[in-house]
Chain A
Amino acid sequence: MKIHRMGILGRKMGMTQIFDDEGRVIPVTVIQAGPCTVVQVKTPDACGYGAVQLGFDEGKETSFTKPLRGHFARAKTPPFKFLREIRLPAADLAAYAVGQAVGADIFSPGEFVDVTGVSKGKGYAGVIKRHHFSGSPASHGSHEYFRHGGSIGQHSYPGRVFKGLGMAGHLGAARATVQNLKVVKVTPGKNLLLIRGAVPGPTGAYVVVRKAVKRTRAVPA
């Protein structure tokens, strides 16, 4: 069964390091999480599934298409550049109404979160970077064969290349989720989240921060 937990939209502001009480260094990613606005509430009755649609990062009215403008006009909210739905169980939907603000204060330090974003694009990458192949010897007579993937199959039997074989191709710029990252600090006034570890995407990219699906028990912060 799929588990749906509350989340928030935000922007990756970059990484830094901070000290804990014992003087240990903690690498953290700073996320501007919100303020988000509920633009639409999807109910199982009307839409077939339960979700809240959040908007983040207000934009200029004229840079939106007419259908989108209508969508925001109906919700009586300003137009948002980043619009995503957060799936929720039907029972939790009553807590949200259109126009309501959602901030970083839905998280507390010590909790674990999953962060979804679009990873940095690496372009057309070879098998060593893309699939962690080990490459070929640099010496002992090797020449013109250092970062190749080797053989891709056998002979007339099976006579084809198996599916799922690692080959060169486009790497990155794809949706990626990092699970079970610890929330180190929450600044509700400024809607800032400090999350231990790295998060997909470049600085300035949009991310979705959700309460962790797997690691649901918080640890003392």
Chain B
Amino acid sequence: MRIIDEVEREYLKKKTPAFRVGDTLKVHVRVVEGDKERVQVFTGRVIARKGSGTSASVTLRKVSYGEGVERMFFLHSPRVARIEVAKSEPARRAKLYYTRGRVGAKER
């Protein structure tokens, strides 16, 4: 297992922000369109953290114009330019899948 870790280390980012499930994050994503590159921000609440090493990921959920949107990001992907914590409200569960299909106050 040590050799695998060594191989992975090269692809890991030096620093990943500290956040917990339940926090609201702003993820700055590099989007390549043709030969142009721009940064898009996805804001959402962390409903799951999964994996370790290069496969460490976070799933964000937001409600956009009344429609639930979920997006998964690999924390160490070069496409993820920056992650900032917008709001911190730690949850008592590790996975917040129960927020699906609930709106407003019932999301708690």
> Residues on A close to B: CB < 8 A?
13-14, 16-19, 21-23, 25, 30, 32, 190, 192, 194
For residue B59, CB closer than 8 A to chain A, the reply is no
Please name all residues of chain A whose beta carbon is closer than 8 Å to the beta carbon of B4 when the two chains form the complex. Answer: 13-14, 16, 30
Residue of B nearest to A13 (CB): B3
Q: Mark B69-87, 1 if CB is under 8 A from A, else 0.
A: 0000010111100000000
Please name 6 further chain A to chain B contacts, defined as beta carbons within 8 Å, in addition to the given A21-B78, A25-B77, sorted by A numbering: A16-B4, A19-B11, A19-B77, A23-B30, A32-B3, A192-B7
Known contacts A23-B78, A25-B74; is A17 also within 8 Å of B54 by CB? yes
**Which chain A positions have C-beta within 8 A of B30?**
23
Q: What class of interface size applies to chain B in its complex with A? A: 10 to 19
The A/B interface has a contact count, at CB < 8 Å, of 42
Give 25 CB contacts A-B under 8 Å: A13-B3, A13-B4, A14-B1, A14-B3, A14-B4, A16-B53, A17-B54, A17-B55, A18-B7, A18-B8, A18-B54, A19-B54, A19-B77, A19-B78, A21-B78, A22-B32, A23-B30, A23-B79, A25-B77, A30-B3, A30-B7, A32-B3, A190-B6, A192-B7, A194-B7
A17 / chain B contacts, CB cutoff of 8 Å = 54-55
Contacts of B78 in A (CB 8 A): 19, 21-23
Interface string of B30-70 (1 = CB under 8 A from A): 10100000000000000000000111000000000000000
The CA of A18 and the CA of B6, in the complex, are separated in Å by 12
Once the chains are docked, how many angstroms separate the CA of A13 from the CA of B30? 33
Whole-angstrom distance from the CB of A16 to the nearest CB of chain B? 5
Inside 8 A of A23's CB, which chain B residues have their CB? 30, 77-79
Return chain B residues, CB-CB under 8 Å to A30: 3-4, 7
A88 to chain B, nearest CB (A): 29
Whether A16 contacts B7 by the Cβ 8 Å rule is: yes
* Residue ID in chain B nearest A31 by CB atoms: B3
